[in-house]
Chains A and B, each alone.
Chain A
Amino acid sequence: MEKVNAIPSLTWHRLRVNEASEKGAFPPVPRRGWGAGDVTLVKVPRGITVDEDEPIACEELESGLGQYGDRLISENANSRWAVTVEKKIKNPLIIEDSVAAGCACVTCGSVYAVAGSALKIIHIFRGDEGVSQSLTRIYLEEGAQVELCEIQLLGAAVSRHCGVAAFGQAGSQFRYTRMELGGAVTVCGAKAVLSARSAAFDMACAYMGTGDEYLDFNDVANHIGRETGSEMHVFGVLGGTADKILRGTIDFRPGAGRSVGHESESVILMSPGVRNRTVPLILCGEEEVEGQHAASAGRLDEDALYYLNARGISPEEARRLMIEAGFRPVADRIPDAKLRDEVLEELGRRIASL
C-alpha cells in the first residue's frame, strides 16, 4: 500500500524497478504537520475563478505517484489552490512554491476546466533546502485545453515529490511540460486518463541529475476512449553517480480502438558512474492501436562536437551547447518569455558545473 510511483503492471518483478526504491520514499510528516507553506499565485489572469475548495471531480483523480503518495500530499498539504476556468484564457496563471532550510512547501492544487475553455499554468519550484511536494489534479471537460508547465529550479539538498493527475473528456487536450533541474531526490509521476474520443495528452520532460541525486519518474497515459492520443517524450542528462529510473506506460484499454501513443527517452551520460534505467511499457488491451517506444542513451555525439570545434567553439563550450540543445525544445514550451530566459540562464549555470 505504501508504494510510490508504481508501474501499472508487474512485468519487471525481478529487476526491482516496479516502484520507487527506498531512496525515493516520502520524508516522514512531522507530528505537528509541515508548518506554514510558501506558495504564491504570482499572476492570476483575468477570467478565471479562484475557488475556496477543491472540486470533487479533481479530488478523485490519481496521479502517477499513486494513491499513497497522493493522500500523503493532499492530507498534509500546507498550501492549497484551486481554480475554475470557463473560457479561453490567453495569459498564463503563474504559481511559485518556495522552500528553505527546515521548511516544507506541500502544495495541493486543482484545475477544473469547463467545456471549451483553455488555460496555461506555469508552476515554479524554488529554494535550496527543505521539502517540496506538490500534487496537481486537473479535470478537463469536453474540448477543454489545459497546459501545465512545471519548472523545478531547486537546490541539491531538496527532497522533491511531484504528482500530476489529469482526466480528459472527449476532444480535450492536456499539454504537460516538466523541467527538473535540481533536488537531492526527485520523484515525479504524471498520469493522464483519456476517457473519451479524441482526448489527447502531450508530455515533454527534461531533467538533469548530478552528484548522487536520485531521480524517479512514473508517467502513464491511460487510453480509454477511441482515437485518443498520447505523446510522452523525455530528454535527460546524468553526471556524477546520479541514479535515475524512468517508467513510461502507454495503457491501451479495451475500447480504445484507433488510438495512438508514442513515448521516447534520450539520455546523455556524462560519467561512467551514473545509473540509468528506462522501463517502457505498452499495454495493449485493444487490437487496433499504434504504440511505439524509442530510447537512446550515450555520450555526446563526437561528430557534432567536432563540427562545433571547427567553428571555433571550444570543447567545453561545445559540450555546454550540445546539452542545452537537448533541453531547448522543452524549454521552448514555457509560455512566458521572461521565465524561459531565466530558465535557460539557470540551465547554463548548472550545465557548467556538471
Chain B
Amino acid sequence: MSTPLLKIEGLHVSVDEKEILHGVDLEIGAGQVHVLMGPNGTGKSTLVSAVMGDPRFTVTEGRIYFKGEDVTEAKTDERARMGMFLSFQAPQEIPGITLENFIRTACGAVSGKQPKLFAFRRELREQMARLGLDESYAERYLNVGFSGGEKKKSEILQLLMMKPALALLDETDSGLDVDAVRTVTEGIKAWHNAENSLLIITHNAKILEGLDVDHVHVLSKGLIVRQGGAELVREITEGGFASVKEED
C-alpha cells in the first residue's frame, strides 16, 4: 500500500495546559474524501489546528506525518508550503492587504516563484466568477467588511488558487446560504482529483452532495468514537450523535 497523504498517530493535544485530544488516529489516502463530525466543543477545530501547526496548541504525545514526512515539529508555513491548506472556521480580517495581493503572495510562497501577473489575474477572475464573488473584491482588503458567507468563499477562492495536496475544511459551509453551499461544493469538486484529498468538518450533509465520501469519523470528547462510510452522515443528520455512539 502506498504512503497515506496524512497520517495521525496517537495524537494528544493541549491548549492552556488542558488536554483536548486524548489520542487520535487518522489516515487519509491520496485522492480520498474524509468527513469529521462530532458535537460542539469536542475538538474538531483543535485537531485541524494541530495538524496545521497552530502555535496555540501543543502536541504532547503522538505524531503527524504528511507525505510520509514527520511534520509534528514543522512550522505552519512549512506545512503550508508542503501542500497543506486549512480553510478556517473564523477567517482573519487584515486591513491594508488586498485579497488579490494576498493570494498572489501566498501562491508565490507555496510554489516558490511569484506568479505572472497577467495569467494570475485571469485565473483569479475566473475562480471568483465561479464562486459568485464580484471582481471588485480582488481590490478590497482581505476579508475586511466581508459578510460571513463571503469570508468562507474567500477561503475557498484561496484553495482553488493555491491548489494544495490536502484541504482541511473547518465548517466552510456554516454561514453559507443553500445556493452558496452548492457553489462552494462545485468549486471543491472542480479542484478535487485522484491526487489531492479532503478532510471536511461539517454539521450538515449539504456540502457533501456530489462528493464521493470515502470515510466518516466521529469525534466525541477528544476521541474518535466511530468510523464508517458515507452512510454515517445520514445516520447522524437524522438521528443525532446519540444514535451512532452506542454502536461503538
Q: Quick check: A314 and B77 within 8 Å, CB to CB?
A: yes
Bound-state CA distance A326–B193 (Å) is: 39
Return the contact of A312 from the options B54, B55, B80 (Cβ within 8 A).
B80
Tell me whether A87 is interfacial, beta carbon within 8 Å.
no
B73-104 CB contacts (< 8 Å) to partner A:
75-77, 80-81, 86, 88, 91-92, 94-97, 102
A328 and B80: CB pair below 8 A? no
Whether a CB of chain B sits under 8 angstroms from the CB of A12 is: no
In chain A between 307 and 336, which residues have their CB closer than 8 angstroms to a CB of chain B?
307-315, 317-318, 321-322, 324-329
Indicate whether A304 reaches chain B with its CB closer than 8 angstroms. yes
User: A306–B55 contact, CB under 8 A?
Assistant: yes
CB < 8 Å neighbour of A307 from B55, B91, B109, B162 = B91
Residue A303 lies at the interface, judged by CB distance under 8 Å to chain B: yes
Closest to B103 in A: A311
Decide yes or no: A325 and B95 within 8 Å by CB, A309-B77, A315-B77 being known contacts.
Answer: yes
- Select which of B52, B95, B97, B105 is within 8 A of A310 by beta carbon: B52
A351 CB, min distance to chain B CBs, angstroms: 13
Q: Which residues of A have CB within 8 Å of B80?
A: 309-313
Given contacts A306-B55, A306-B76, contact A311 B109 (CB under 8 A): yes
| A contact face: mostly helix, strand, loop, or mixed | helix
Given contacts A306-B55, A312-B77, A315-B77, contact A329 B105 (CB under 8 A): no
CA distance A16 to B95 in the complex (A): 35
Report which of B52, B54, B77, B91 forms a contact with A313, defined as CB distance below 8 A: B77
Render A166-205 as a binary contact track against B, CB cut-off 8 A, 1 for contact: 0000000000000000000000000000000000000000
Which of A307, A312, A314 is the most central at the interface, judged by chain B CB atoms within 10 Å of its CB?
A: A312
Interface residues on A, range: 20 to 34
On whether the beta carbons of A306 and B94 are closer than 8 Å, the reply is no
The residue of chain A having its C-beta at the shortest distance from the C-beta of B105 within the complex is A313
Residue of chain A at shortest CB distance from B81: A312
> Does B158 make an interface contact (CB < 8 A)?
yes
Report the Cα distance A329→B51, complex, angstroms: 35
Contacts of A312 in B (CB 8 A): 77, 80-81, 106, 109-110, 162
- B55, B75, B106: which contacts A311 (Cβ < 8 A)? B106
A313 close to B94 (CB less than 8 A): no
Chain B residues near A328: list those with CB within 8 A: 96-97
- Which listed residue (A309, A315, A321) contacts B97, Cβ 8 A? A321
Interface string of B188-223 (1 = CB under 8 A from A): 000000000000000000000000000000000000
- Residues of A near B55 (CB, < 8 A) are 306
Chain A residues positioned under 8 Å from B106 (CB to CB):
308, 311-313
Given contacts A309-B75, A328-B96, A328-B97, 9 further A-B contacts (CB under 8 A): A304-B94, A307-B92, A310-B54, A311-B102, A312-B77, A313-B77, A315-B75, A315-B77, A322-B94
Interface residues of B, Cβ cutoff 8 Å to A: 52, 54-55, 75-77, 80-81, 86, 88, 91-92, 94-97, 102, 105-106, 109-110, 158, 162
* A-B pairs with beta carbons under 8 Å apart, 30 shown: A306-B54, A306-B55, A307-B92, A307-B94, A309-B75, A309-B76, A310-B54, A310-B76, A310-B77, A310-B86, A310-B88, A311-B102, A311-B110, A311-B162, A312-B80, A312-B81, A312-B109, A312-B110, A313-B80, A313-B105, A313-B106, A313-B109, A314-B109, A322-B94, A322-B96, A325-B94, A325-B96, A325-B97, A327-B96, A329-B96
The 6 A-B pairs at the shortest CB distance, nearest first, are namely: A325-B96, A312-B80, A312-B109, A311-B106, A312-B110, A307-B92
